Chain A
C-alpha cells in the first residue's frame, strides 16, 4: 500500500471510531444510568465488546462509576455517568494511558 493510501485508510478508521464514540457518549449523557446492554441497544451498535471497552476506559478515568447487582455478573452492572463534561465525546490517547476531554481541553489519566 502506498503511504498516501495508508494515511487515508488510517483517517477513515479513526473517523469510524469517532462516530461510535460520539453516539455512545451522547446516549450515556441522556441515560445517565445504564448497563452495557442498554447502551448497545440504544446506540444500535452490534459489538457489545467495543461498548464495554469504551465504558471501561471512561470508568478508569473517573467518568463513570459502576454499581453491581446482588450477583457479580458484568451484564448486571449498572454504570452512572458522574462527569458529564459536555457534548463532545472524550477519547483515549497515548495507547489508552489517558483520556482527552475536548470539552474541558484537559487530560485524565486512566488508572
Chain B
C-alpha cells in the first residue's frame, strides 16, 4: 500500500475552500466551517491541511470557557497569557496578524451554544483578518444558524460526505500496489458504508491476499468471502464503524 493523501471529492473540496479563504479579497469574511460524521476522513484531511498551511490548531472541550480557549490559543502561539481576557485577545490578534496563520477549532460543536465563545472567535477573526475554521460533527451548521453575526461571516462550508464508489476506485488505483477489479472495489465500497478509513483497511487486506497468492490483479472470484476488515485495531475513543454512531443531538 502506498501512503499518500488522495484528492477524492471531500479532500478536494476542503483544499479548494482553504484556498479561497487564504486568498480572499481584502475585507471579505474569512470564516470556514467543516462538518461531517466520524470515519469520513475529516480528521485526516484536516490534519493534512493544517500541517500544510501551518495553521494554529486547538481543540474545544465540553468544559471550554472563553478564558480557557484563549489559554489554548496562547500556548499554540507560544505567547504568555495576560491578566485580562481583553489584553490576551489583543496579543493573540497581533500574533496571528503578524504571522498570517489561520486558526482551526476542532470539536467546535461544544461552542455552538456558548455565545461568548463564538463571539470571542468572531472578534479574533475580525481583528486579525486571518481565516478561522470551525470543525464539527454532522449537523453542526444547523446549530449555528441562530447566530447571525457569525453565519454572515462564514464564507466557505465543507460538508464531508460518504465516499462514493468513484472515490473508492480512485483510492484503489492510487493506494493498492496490485490491480483491484472494479467489481471487487464495488463490493468493498458497499461493506465500508462510505467510510474512507474502512476502504483503506479493506484495500490493504485485498492487496495482502493478492500478494500472498502471487497475483498482479485481483477480482471478486479470487477474493472469495473473506471479511474486508479483519484485524482493525480500535481507533481511540471513536467508533470504528461510522454508520452505527448516532448523530449527536
Chain A residue nearest to B197 in the complex (CB): A38
A40 vs B230: C-alpha distance in the bound complex, in angstroms? 23
CB-defined contacts of B3 to chain A, threshold 8 Å: 36-38, 40-41, 48
Chain B interface: which size bin?
Answer: 20 to 34
What chain B residues lie within 8 Å of A76 (beta carbons)? Answer: 231, 233
Residue of A whose beta carbon sits closest to that of B236: A33
Q: Per-position contact with A for B224-249: 1 when CB-CB < 8 Å, else 0?
A: 00000011111110100000000000
Q: Which of A31, A41, A67 contacts B43 (CB 8 A)?
A: A31
| B228 CB to nearest A CB, Å | 14
Which residues from chain B contact A30 at a C-beta distance below 8 Å? 43, 46-47, 50-51, 57, 106
Which of chain B's residues has its CB closest to A38's CB? Answer: B44
- Please give, as numbers and ranges, the residues of chain B lying within 8 Å of A27 by CB-CB distance: 47-48, 51
The CA of A33 and the CA of B4, in the complex, are separated in Å by 17
Which of B4, B232, B233 meets A41, CB within 8 Å? B4
Q: How far is the CA of A67 from the CA of B238 in the complex (A)?
A: 15
A78 CA / B234 CA spacing, docked (Å): 9
Q: How far is the CA of A37 from the CA of B175 in the complex (A)?
A: 11
> Which residue of chain B is the closest to A68 with respect to CB atoms?
B233
CB distance from B92 to the nearest CB of A (A): 14
Contacts A26-B51, A86-B75, A87-B78; is A42 near B233 (CB within 8 Å)? Answer: no
- B204 an interface residue at 8 Å Cβ cutoff? yes
Q: Give min CB distance, B68 to chain A, whole Å.
A: 16
Known: A31-B44, A31-B47. A41 touches B236 (CB 8 A): no
User: 8 Å CB contacts to B: which residues of A4-47?
Assistant: 23, 26-27, 29-33, 36-38, 40-44
- From residue B239, how far is it (CB to closest CB) to chain A in Å? 13
Complex: chain A residue closest to B56, CB-CB: A87
Asked whether, in the complex, the Cβ of A43 is within 8 Å of the Cβ of B75, the reply is no
Smallest CB gap from A25: residue in B: B51
Provide the residues of chain B in CB contact with A75, threshold 8 Å. Answer: 1, 204
- How far is it, in angstroms, between the C-alpha of A40 and the C-alpha of B1 when the chains are bound? 12
Nearest neighbor of A24 in chain B, beta-carbon distance? B51
Over the window 63-93 of chain A, the binary record of Cβ atoms lying under 8 Å from chain B Cβ atoms (1 yes, 0 no) is 0000111110001111010000011100000
- Which B residues lie within 8 Å of A80 (CB)? 236
Note all chain A residues with C-beta closer than 8 A to B52: 44
- Option from A26, A42, A78 in Cβ contact (under 8 Å) with B5: A42
Chain A contacts for B51, CB-based, 8 A: 23, 26-27, 30, 42-44
How far does the alpha carbon of A44 sit from the alpha carbon of B44 in the complex, in Å? Answer: 12
Would you give the shortest CB distance from A50 to chain B, in whole angstroms?
12
For A67, give the chain B residue with the smallest CB separation: B233
